[in-house]
Amino acid sequence: LSVALCAGAMRCAATSAASLHHDYCVIGAGPSGLQMAYFLQRAGRDYVVFERGHVPGSFFALYPRHRKLISINKQYTGKSNSEFNLRHDWNSLLSHDRRLLFRRYSHDFFPHADAMVRYLEDFAALLELQVQYNTAIIHVTLDADPEAWNGHYFVLTDQNRQKYKCSSLLVATGTWVPNVVNFPGSEYVEGYETVSINPEDFAGQTVLILGRGNSAFETAENILGVTNFIHMVSRSRVRLSWATHYVGDLRAINNGLLDTYQLKSLDGLLEGDLEDLAIVKDKKGKLHITLRYYLENRNTSAGIDSITLPQDELDNFATRAPYDRVIRCLGWKFDFAIYNRSLRLMPGKGNKNKYPQIKPNYESRGTRGLFVLGTASHSVDFRKSAGGFIHGFRYTTRAVHRLLENRHHGVPWPSTVYPITQLTNSIIKRVNEASGLYQMFSVLADIILLRENATAFEYLEEYPTGVLAELETQTGRKAANGLFVIIMEYGKNFSGADKDVFYYNRAVGEAQHAWQSNFLHPVIYYYKRLPTEREMRLCPPDWPLPRPDAIHHIVEDFLTDWTAPNAHILPLRRFLENCLGTDLRNFFAESCFLFAFTRQKLPPFCQQGYIRMQGLVGTRRLQGHAMEAGLLENYTVTDFAGDKLLSSHEGSQDQDHTVITRQDHTMPVRPLQHVVNAKDE
Instruction: Name residues contacting another protein, limited to 491-550 (CB under 8 A).
Output: 491-494, 499-500, 503-516, 534-535, 537-540, 543, 546-548, 550
Considering the complex, state which of residue 226 and residue 507 has its C-beta at the smaller distance from another protein. Answer: 507
Stretch that binds another protein, among 46-54, 132-140, 478-486, 574-582 (CB under 8 A): 574-582
Cα–Cα separations (whole angstroms), residue 513 to 275, 491, 553: 47, 12, 9
The interface with another protein within residues 51-90 (CB under 8 A) comprises: 79-83
Quick one: how far is CA 409 from the chain centroid? 26
Query: Is 551 one of the binding residues for another protein (CB under 8 A)?
Result: yes
Considering the complex, state which of residue 145 and residue 628 has its C-beta at the smaller distance from another protein. Answer: 628
Q: By C-alpha distance, which of 135, 139, 170, 134 is closest to 155? A: 139
Query: Is 273 one of the binding residues for another protein (CB under 8 A)?
Result: no
Query: Is 409 one of the binding residues for another protein (CB under 8 A)?
Result: no
The interface with another protein within residues 137-166 (CB under 8 A) comprises: none
Query: With left for phi above 0 and alpha for psi between -120 and 50, is residue 462 left, alpha or beta?
Result: left
The interface with another protein within residues 308-337 (CB under 8 A) comprises: none
Stretch that binds another protein, among 115-123, 345-353, 417-425, 469-477 (CB under 8 A): 417-425
In this chain, which of 2, 205, 586, 658 binds another protein, going by CB under 8 A? 586
Question: Phi and psi (nearest 5°) for 257?
Answer: -70, -25
DSSP string over 407-472: HHH--PPPEEEEEGGGHHHHHHHHHHH-SHHHHTTTTEEEEEEEPGGGSEEEEEEEEEGGGGGGHH
- State the minimum distance, in angstroms, from the CB of residue 680 to another protein: 6
- State the minimum distance, in angstroms, from the CB of residue 560 to another protein: 12
The interface with another protein within residues 5-44 (CB under 8 A) comprises: none
Quick one: how far is CA 120 from the chain centroid? 21
Query: Is 616 one of the binding residues for another protein (CB under 8 A)?
Result: yes
Query: Is 628 one of the binding residues for another protein (CB under 8 A)?
Result: yes
Query: Is 391 one of the binding residues for another protein (CB under 8 A)?
Result: no
Binding to another protein by CB under 8 A, coded x per residue (else -) over 632-651, reads: xx-xx-xx--xx-xxx-xx-
Query: Is 239 one of the binding residues for another protein (CB under 8 A)?
Result: no
In this chain, which of 350, 581, 651, 655 binds another protein, going by CB under 8 A? 581
- Helix ranges restricted to H, 87-213: 113-126
Query: Is 663 one of the binding residues for another protein (CB under 8 A)?
Result: no
Stretch that binds another protein, among 102-110, 201-209, 300-308, 597-605 (CB under 8 A): 597-605
Query: Is 135 one of the binding residues for another protein (CB under 8 A)?
Result: no
Query: Is 566 one of the binding residues for another protein (CB under 8 A)?
Result: yes
290 contacts 308 by C-beta, under 8 angstroms: yes
CA-based end-to-end distance of the chain: 75
DSSP string over 129-145: --EE-S--EEEEEEEE-
CB proximity list for 637: less than 8 A, separation 6 or greater: 664, 668
Cα–Cα separations (whole angstroms), residue 26 to 8, 379, 408: 14, 19, 16
Q: Is the omega angle on the peptide bond into residue 544 within 30 degrees of 0, that is, cis?
A: no
Considering the complex, state which of residue 99 and residue 368 has its C-beta at the smaller distance from another protein. Answer: 99
In this chain, which of 360, 366, 412, 571 binds another protein, going by CB under 8 A? 571
Considering the complex, state which of residue 392 and residue 491 has its C-beta at the smaller distance from another protein. Answer: 491
384 contacts 247 by C-beta, under 8 angstroms: no
